[in-house]
Amino acid sequence: MKKLIFFLNLMAILCLWSCSDNEQLKFDTTISDNMFTFTAVEGGAKLTYKLSDPRISKVKITYKDEFGDLIYKVGDYSVNTILLNGFNNAKNSVPVRVSFLDSKDNESEVRDMSFSTLASNLYTFFDNVKVGSYWDGFQLTYELKGQVNGSATVYFVGENPNTHARDTLTLENFQLEAGKFTKAYSLDESQRQSNYTVVVTTEDSKQRIARKQTWAGIVGMERVQLPNANFELLDPFKLSREEAYNPNGGSYNPGAFGKQYLFDGDVKGTLGVLYYRPGYATPPFTFLTKENALHKDGNDKYFVLDIKKPAMLGEMRFYFRYGDGFAVNKDFDEAGGSGNGGYYTKLPCSVTIYAWVASESYNPNADQSTIPSVNWKQIGKVSQDPSSAKTERWYYNANLKSNPKTKADLDALKPLYLSVPFDFDENEYRYYKIEFDGTYNDLILPANNNGKDRVTCHEIEVYAKKQ
């Protein structure tokens, strides 16, 4: 009997202890549906919650995403929303369990609820994307709004460089962002085709493919150089320095400047080398402007290239004239400069190009301030820091050990040029406004910098749709 009484008392104590422990673990805060609001967003839902009980430390959410993975999320007082993501297709009545946690992570009762989602941008991307022709390749244009995440990968069908077999080759993987974008791809010469097959996939943060689509028969636009012998650089502000070659101009000022040298086929400075005389600067036979030729605020200056016949252009190139080991041509100097760096500080680092879209012809003799801005459409722009490192500049030649001193030396060098690619536009234009927006700085002697805002380039070429 004593043993029985002891056992009963022990059980009573254990029961009381257990009940006391359960009381400590129990978190009995009120939880109701009106504390939570679910708003469908792209790829999931946004949960907005209200915390009124000071004992509540966190909100606990569990649900399964579209792939069946169990997702666990926690929110606290620092925010009042939680993104419930992991969905591509639009979903209705997705089960979700909601509860509260106190500071010791004791859990309240669990409330079973549901939410709906909108289709993710990984899915609707393909409702907005367009794949079309581009220069020597193709381009993608797309626009995304709302909640955006994940990435897209672009492929094309071409020749595998290792196996030489037909294969699907990766071009680019990029993060998706809200906004309107164009992705243009000009392919290497070995991969150019008359028609392209393009494949695009979208992936979530775990690189799981959300959707895939293929476009076939995308026409590639081949570019060819247009003969430029008949081109004309129109000069509405009379900024071009026009000066014939003067063999009697002294050792350092031989002249030989003019717009006509931009279209003589000399892309390196070959003609000048033929005029070498010991002790004399080589005549440049090149284009150089007068002062204040840079386009700046308060100085709306520009040139207009007339290609004589409308064409669908894809690129414009501005060439560099190689220096030589002869006497320094001081026509490129700035006051106080040494002469050696003067040429390089006249080379453009920023150029903007517009096409004339008005129905009437462009008139260089008209008052340029009266021309409506809508008559010009921007089609190309390049810009580089004027103080960028020498090795980053378009005229840098890593293989050039010293200045060429003979025609043979010059013939062995590749032409160097600044390329301005154009937006893809299937319209044809005849007139192109060229704004020189900036030139390079001298990295050693600031006195050589382009204080008078002059510009030089040696040849202009354009590349247009092959007929």
Q: What percentage of residues in the chain have a pLDDT greater than 70? A: 91
| Bridge partners for 71 per DSSP | 63
Residues 55, 59, 60, 65, Cα dihedral to 10°: 170
Q: Which range, 11-20, 144-153, 344-353, is most confident?
A: 344-353
Q: Among 10-14, 107-111, 420-424, which stretch is predicted with the lowest mean pLDDT? A: 10-14
* Position 9 pLDDT exceeds 80: no
The mean of the pLDDT values for the chain is 89
pLDDT at position 379 is 95
* Position 226 pLDDT exceeds 70: yes
Segment 142-148 shows an average pLDDT of 87
Domains of the chain and any CATH numbers? 33-115 (2.60.40.10), 121-221 (2.60.40.10), 225-465 (2.60.120.260)
pLDDT band at 16 (very low <50, low <70, confident <90, very high): very low
pLDDT at position 335 is 52
Distances (CA, A) of 279 to 31, 62, 96, 343, 410: 95, 85, 88, 19, 20
Tell me the per-residue pLDDT of 305-358, one tens digit each, with 9 for 90 and over.
999 999 999 999 999 998 876 677 888 886 544 444 589 999 999 999 999 999
Please spell the DSSP secondary structure of 45-91, one letter per residue. EEEEE----TT--EEEEEEE-TTS-EEEEEE-TT-SEEEEE--SS--
CA pair distance 325, 340, nearest whole angstrom: 11
CA pair distance 117, 193, nearest whole angstrom: 42
**Against a cut of 0.85, is the pTM above it?**
no
* Position 230 pLDDT exceeds 70: yes
pLDDT at position 325 is 66
pLDDT at position 52 is 81
DSSP 3-state of 310: strand
pLDDT at position 20 is 42
pLDDT band at 205 (very low <50, low <70, confident <90, very high): confident
For 384, phi then psi, to 5°, come to -135, 150
pLDDT at position 415 is 94
* Position 18 pLDDT exceeds 80: no
Contact between residue 346 and residue 449 where contact means Cβ atoms under 8 Å apart: no
Which of 125, 126, 134 lies closest to 196 in space, CA to CA?
Answer: 134
pLDDT band at 78 (very low <50, low <70, confident <90, very high): confident
DSSP 3-state of 206: coil
Segment 108-118 shows an average pLDDT of 94
